[in-house]
Structure formats: C-alpha cells, structure tokens
C-alpha cells in the first residue's frame, strides 16, 4: 500500500500546514513548458511531520490552489489552524475558501532577502530543531558553509 493510499484512509488533524511551490520544465504535448509543482507538509499536534500531498499544474493561480487544497481536505485533512506559506494572492484566496478561519503566516520572499538582512535564514528551515545540540548549524548537513 502506498503512502498516499494509507494517508487517504485516515482523518488526522494537522494544526500547521506548510505549502510551497516551485517551477520546473516538463514535456507536455511534445513541448517543453514550465510547470508548477506544489507540496503540502503537515505538522500534527504531537509534532509529527508528514508530506500530505503534491500536485503539478500550469500556474500558481487561485483555481489550481483551491483544487489542491480541496483534494487534501477530501482525503481527510482536518483541524488546520495555521497555514505557513508565501503570500501569493491566489493562494491567500484559496486558503480563505477551503480552510475558513485558518490563519496565514507569510514566509519572507527569498528573492528579496538581500533587501532585508536576516530574512533568508528564516525561510531556510520551517522546522527548527528541538535539540540544543542540533539546532541551527552554520552550514549544510555535510559541514559546508552556506553561500553568502
């Protein structure tokens, strides 16, 4: 049984949902076009983190986000209190439509991080470590320093 089928059978509350999107090139109808890949991560009340779902679409508009969020809700996503994501207009409207009453915490835009010192680090790790010995290393996991 795949993880998506297993998750579809449960109704679990995830008070915190992280949403993100990126673009990649894909071949569609014999042409290479830009496609949006969206992903949702949930954090349960006990701190457990899970990938809730992902999808591929043409653009990051309200209709696409609404359909994606409704698919998560149909599969059992419940108890969303806070959505953490960027503040795209279409996404904000979709959250208001599907998760009525849930708050939105907007992450800083990494493209403008140089204009606002200190904001890039906030967007790098949405899941801070709870262990003091593992908290916020200065570099990646291989020990290489982060590029400036």
pLDDT digits (tens, 9 = 90+) for 71-114: 999 988 989 999 999 878 888 999 999 999 999 888 776 555 55
Domains and CATH numbers, the chain: 16-124 (3.30.420)
Query: Tell me, what's the pLDDT at 135?
Result: 52
Tell me the pTM.
Answer: 0.67
| High-pLDDT (> 70) share of the chain, % | 66
The per-residue pLDDT of the chain, averaged, comes to 77
Q: Which of 104, 97, 101 is nearest to 82 (CA)?
A: 104
Per mean pLDDT, which of 7-21, 51-65, 129-143 is the most reliable?
Answer: 51-65
Torsion of CA 137, 114, 91, 84, to 10 degrees: 30
Contact, 104 vs 83, CB < 8 A? yes
pLDDT tops 80 at residue 7 = no
What does each C-alpha distance from 87 to 1, 15, 84, 105 come to in angstroms? Answer: 35, 19, 9, 8
- Those residues with Cβ within 8 angstroms of residue 64's Cβ, 6 or more apart along the chain or in another chain: 36, 38, 55, 57, 58, 90
């Amino acid at each position: 049984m795949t993880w998506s089928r297993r998750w579809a059978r449960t109704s679990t509350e995830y008070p915190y949902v992280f949403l993100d999107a990126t673009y990649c090139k894909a071949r569609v109808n014999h042409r290479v076009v830009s496609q949006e890949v969206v992903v949702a991560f949930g954090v349960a009340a006990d701190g457990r983190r899970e990938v809730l779902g992902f999808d591929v679409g043409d653009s990051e508009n309200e209709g696409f986000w609404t359909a994606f969020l409704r698919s998560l809700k149909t599969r059992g996503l419940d108890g969303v209190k806070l959505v953490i994501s960027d503040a795209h207009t279409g996404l904000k409207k979709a959250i208001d439509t599907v998760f009525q009453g849930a708050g939105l915490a907007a992450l800083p835009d990494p493209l403008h991080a140089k204009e606002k010192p200190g904001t890039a680090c906030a967007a790098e790790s949405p899941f801070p470590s709870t262990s003091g010995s593992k908290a916020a290393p200065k570099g990646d996991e291989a020990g290489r320093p982060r590029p400036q």
